[in-house]
Structure 1
């Protein structure tokens, strides 16, 4: 028997769920069974796999009334927001819709002598390591296209959202996806690294911290197993002088504070043209002062606790360090701020890039706002980061946004929106945000390998 994985609820610090970890040998036996079942799964017609995956998605949707309060208990998101099923279904549905074209053979040419084409074939067993902040949506980004493409999938969730993998696999099995093809796993870090280093998997998708991604890559070194990573972020917003101010403030502050700031592509720093700066800050402060911090099971709560006390303490440390060297904090402590997981959201001004709050990932309800005088200054500041996931540009001029976007080191450029994942576009990053790409046709290409056919015809 391995050690226990324990999910501590941020609501009150109580133990919400526990599961025993699986040892390496037991997991290797399970993976061998998955590998054997994968071939028969891949031989099924594509449309049959699509239909079974989408049936599993529908079963997850039918569980939503149980899932929403369960997520509140595990990671603190208020029940008023209704969970993740909208995005979960949208992403899976898009990947189902484009599967036939994305996985079609690439025809190179045929004449009286040769037939030449490239097939997309599944890797085999795909290992998906999903994070706690959006545990259903981040998992389905890879689970749906991996299964549709003919892979078997082993899913490992973060301990903070321990029960999500059980929910997902049970739903898909009840819809007809074979148990051996889609498996949930409870693994500790050491066992996970040992399995990867022994080449147990054919492809790995990891969403999490930079340190976690580095551990995955080190474990895979020399195995030639593909590792796709989405890691840290410090996503910027830039408000130009011709922006719709009301829309910019509403969207960027929501992007910074929603889910207690615990979003992969959440806004962590904002640069505002000097002509709009004072108005922007005043409106941002007004919005944040109107939030209700409290128990996420209360429908009136708009901001729940952070998922773990140590996450909240890191945000507090970044804020206090910044204030000590001159930053201005605009929000007084909320009554429900307990010094633990319940954390007052914060707007900071008079910030600089010498402060950790403008450099390190915060992943919490805090955002620094800086005044800029030109596109060149904003571009330099946006690029002054080790991360590159998304950037949000606010202007009435689409050509200007495209030109600025061309100069930003990022994976996605938004104009007049933020904090959204479009499944028709590749979800990708650069620098320390990681490598690889999910969703879109590129997601299918990453979850399969090319196999070339050069067939010479027999002629008399």
Structure 2
């Protein structure tokens, strides 16, 4: 049973120490889950809804402690950390309310002498593997619909944010959930792979990197399990000539730099019509220069450190390489005193004169950098937006909704926005194409991932 440390990006200190679950603890958790699932599936949906609502209440009641832990575990500025609590509540309450409609039987056309319908049955045990960057929002997308549908859940959280799993478990316990219905395990990589392949696990809901998703598919292959993968993004935005430029600048700068750019659906590349390119860049640079890079626990900080020095170094390399290839860095790093090599503190950067021969425009950055490329027309913008291995979200800023929708019909993406970006609406399906993954969470469609159809064909004799 090995220990692991949570190293805070704020100051490099050890924020917490935990131990990986032993094989005995893993086996016990699996046994408890299997035992609990039978009774939980038989629990009326209204009761499952009530318990989930009580969990949300208990979670919200601990918002201050949760925000503090988010800040120190992964570096989000304290002023924004409580947003994760309210975001979880919004998503969970939507799914609780949507469950009866989403889980109701599917009826078919009457046929004399027969009763026919399709029932949605739970899969059994769902293993949720959650990341550190939005540690609660990403997890709750799968946890709540799985439980509402009658499944039991074991959560394996990132080693960077293990306290998030503990906070969720505490809220479920406070709500009065039966033992074994929701559990968490701190797992090593090797034990995570073993869990994925374990016959007791019926579905894996993974959020993380493309390489992590490939691992899940590889290990699950041949076991005929359901696998949901929410992976990376290189999300584009296009600013048309008719866009409200100040609004587009404010929205896209936030979409690119919130959470230090560490968002799968953050804006990583912006295409701007040549008629408004210079105006857009001028206003965007002025806004980016207003960020305050600093310790996440300082109240004035609006841009915290990246999660690890290695992550910041990766983005630094992308930026330096692009500049060596002809890109122009518009932000003077010296304006941000805490931005230093060898630390997770990295100044925001906006690059112009970029193109798709540069990694910064094709490879996921997951950091505070965005490239702005000039385009001549809608056709060029669409071609460049689709020139990517990813397809999670895409946005167009325009005053012409019809033109925007026409563009959206051509863009290869899971979610298409007009005059918005970097947002999950729980009423809409959250899904991706290409290397952004497969499967779906949120909305009534998301319940399909945690259930299986069972047909009832009854003949009256």
TM-score normalized with structure 1 length = 0.98
8 Å CA contact retained: 1:109, 1:117: no
8 Å CA contact retained: 1:330, 1:348: yes
In structure 1, the residue matched to 2:429 is 426
In structure 2, the residue matched to 1:65 is 64
Give a deviation string over 1:129-164, Cα, whole Å, max 9, x none.
011011011111111111111100000111111100
| 1:336 counterpart = 2:335 | no
In structure 2, the residue matched to 1:199 is 199
Note the C-alpha offset of 1:33. 1.5
Structure 2 matches for 1:290-329, cutoff 5 A? 290-329=290-329
In the alignment, the residues of structure 2 paired with residue 24 and residue 424 of structure 1 have an alpha-carbon distance, to the nearest angstrom, of 39
| Residues paired across the two proteins, number | 457
Give a deviation string over 1:200-222, Cα, whole Å, max 9, x none.
31011000000000000000010
In the alignment, the residues of structure 2 paired with residue 175 and residue 35 of structure 1 have an alpha-carbon distance, to the nearest angstrom, of 21
SS at match of 2:160: helix
In structure 2, the residue matched to 1:364 is 367
Give a deviation string over 1:329-366, Cα, whole Å, max 9, x none.
11111111122101000000011111111011000000
In the alignment, the residues of structure 2 paired with residue 233 and residue 402 of structure 1 have an alpha-carbon distance, to the nearest angstrom, of 21
Note the C-alpha offset of 1:237. 0.5
In the alignment, the residues of structure 1 paired with residue 410 and residue 212 of structure 2 have an alpha-carbon distance, to the nearest angstrom, of 29
In structure 2, the residue matched to 1:103 is 103
Note the C-alpha offset of 1:111. 4.6
Structure 2 matches for 1:88-167, cutoff 5 A? 88-167=88-167
In structure 1, the residue matched to 2:25 is 26
In structure 2, the residue matched to 1:184 is 184
In the alignment, the residues of structure 2 paired with residue 64 and residue 22 of structure 1 have an alpha-carbon distance, to the nearest angstrom, of 27
Note the C-alpha offset of 1:12. 0.6
**Which among 437, 444, 448 is matched to residue 451 of structure 2?**
448
SS at match of 1:401: helix
Note the C-alpha offset of 1:25. 4.7
8 Å CA contact retained: 2:114, 2:457: yes
In the alignment, the residues of structure 1 paired with residue 200 and residue 238 of structure 2 have an alpha-carbon distance, to the nearest angstrom, of 44
In the alignment, the residues of structure 2 paired with residue 112 and residue 280 of structure 1 have an alpha-carbon distance, to the nearest angstrom, of 66
Unaligned runs of 5+ in 1: none
In structure 1, the residue matched to 2:392 is 389
Note the C-alpha offset of 1:178. 1.7
In the alignment, the residues of structure 1 paired with residue 329 and residue 110 of structure 2 have an alpha-carbon distance, to the nearest angstrom, of 68
Structure 2 matches for 1:6-21, cutoff 5 A? 6-21=5-20
8 Å CA contact retained: 1:28, 1:200: no
**Which among 368, 374, 379 is matched to residue 377 of structure 2?**
374
| 1:256 counterpart = 2:259 | no
SS at match of 1:159: coil
SS at match of 1:163: helix
Note the C-alpha offset of 1:308. 1.0
Note the C-alpha offset of 1:5. 2.6
SS at match of 2:437: coil
**Which among 401, 409, 418 is matched to residue 406 of structure 1?**
409
In structure 2, the residue matched to 1:211 is 211
SS at match of 1:247: helix
Note the C-alpha offset of 1:29. 2.8
8 Å CA contact retained: 1:24, 1:195: no
Unaligned runs of 5+ in 2: none
In the alignment, the residues of structure 2 paired with residue 338 and residue 216 of structure 1 have an alpha-carbon distance, to the nearest angstrom, of 36
**Which among 433, 436, 457 is matched to residue 439 of structure 2?**
436
8 Å CA contact retained: 2:193, 2:219: yes
